[in-house]
Amino acid sequence: MTNPLILGIETSCDETGIGIVRGNQLLADTLASSVEEQARFGGVVPEVASRAHVEAMIPTIKKSVEASGISLNQIDAIAVTSGPGLAGALVVGVAAAKALAVALNKPIYGVNHLAAHVAVDTLENGALPEPCLALLVSGGHSSLLKVNNINYSIESLGKTLDDAAGEAFDKVARVLGLPFPGGPWIDKAAQSGDQLSIDFPKGLMSKQDLIDHTYDFSFSGLKTAVARWVQAWQKTGEAIPVADVAASFQEAVVEVLVKKTMLAAQNFGINTVVIGGGVAANSRLRAMAQSEAEKHGVRVRIPRPALCTDNGAMVAALGSHLYSAGLDPADLSFEVDPTLDITQVQA
Residue 339 lies in a domain: no
Residue 133 lies in a domain: yes
Contact between residue 52 and residue 14 where contact means Cβ atoms under 8 Å apart:
yes
Are 25 and 141 in a shared domain? no
Distance in angstroms (rounded) separating the CA atoms of residues 89 and 93: 7
Are 138 and 107 in a shared domain? no
Are 135 and 63 in a shared domain? no
**pLDDT per residue rounded down to tens, the chain (347 residues):** 679 999 999 999 999 999 999 999 999 999 998 877 888 887 889 899 999 999 999 999 999 999 999 999 999 999 999 999 999 999 999 999 999 999 999 999 999 999 999 999 999 999 999 999 999 999 888 999 999 999 999 999 999 999 999 999 999 999 999 999 999 999 999 999 999 999 999 999 999 999 999 999 999 999 999 999 999 999 999 999 999 999 999 999 999 999 999 999 999 999 999 999 999 999 999 999 999 999 999 999 999 999 999 999 999 999 999 999 999 999 999 999 999 999 999 98
Distance in angstroms (rounded) separating the CA atoms of residues 306 and 271: 25
DSSP-derived secondary structure letter, 15 = E
Are 59 and 169 in a shared domain? no
Task: Please give, one letter per residue, the 3-state secondary structure of 193-236.
Answer: CCCCCCCCCCCCCCCCHHHHCCCCECCHHHHHHHHHHHHHHHCC
> Residue 204, Cα to own-chain centre: how many angstroms?
22
Residue 334 lies in a domain: no
Helices 220-234, 242-268: axis angle to 10 degrees equals: 160
Are 134 and 268 in a shared domain? yes
Are 239 and 256 in a shared domain? yes
Are 320 and 203 in a shared domain? no
Residue 217 lies in a domain: yes
Distance in angstroms (rounded) separating the CA atoms of residues 39 and 41: 5
Contact between residue 108 and residue 344 where contact means Cβ atoms under 8 Å apart:
no
What is the DSSP code string of 225-282? HHHHHHHHHHTTTSPP-HHHHHHHHHHHHHHHHHHHHHHHHHHHT--EEEEESGGGG-
Strand order in the sheet with 142-149: 153-159, 142-149, 132-137, 272-276, 299-301
Radius of gyration of the chain (CA): 20
Are 251 and 171 in a shared domain? yes
Q: Cβ neighbours of residue 346 under 8 Å, at least 6 residues apart?
A: 82, 109, 110, 111, 112, 322, 327, 330
Residue 345 lies in a domain: no
**Number of domains comprising the chain:** 2
Distance in angstroms (rounded) separating the CA atoms of residues 68 and 20: 7
Helices 242-268, 283-296: axis angle to 10 degrees equals: 30
Residue 347 lies in a domain: no
Are 171 and 273 in a shared domain? yes
Nearest by Cα to 10 from 125, 94, 72: 94
What CATH code is carried by the domain that includes residue 301?
A: 3.30.420.40
Report CA torsion sign: 117, 69, 35, 228. positive
Residue 346 lies in a domain: no
Indicate the helix (H) or strand (E) that contains 133.
Answer: strand 132-137
Are 52 and 102 in a shared domain? yes
Q: Supply angle C-alpha 345, 262, 161, rounded to 5.
A: 60
* Residue 96 structural domain: 5-120+311-324
Secondary structure class of 65 (helix, strand, coil): helix
CA dist 172 → 135, 164, 226, 247 (Å)? 22, 12, 7, 12
Phi, psi dihedrals of residue 83, rounded to the nearest 5°? 160, 170
Are 79 and 136 in a shared domain? no
SS3 breakdown of the chain: % helix, strand, coil, rounded to 5?
45, 20, 35
Strand partners, 196: none
Residue 10 lies in a domain: yes
Are 109 and 148 in a shared domain? no
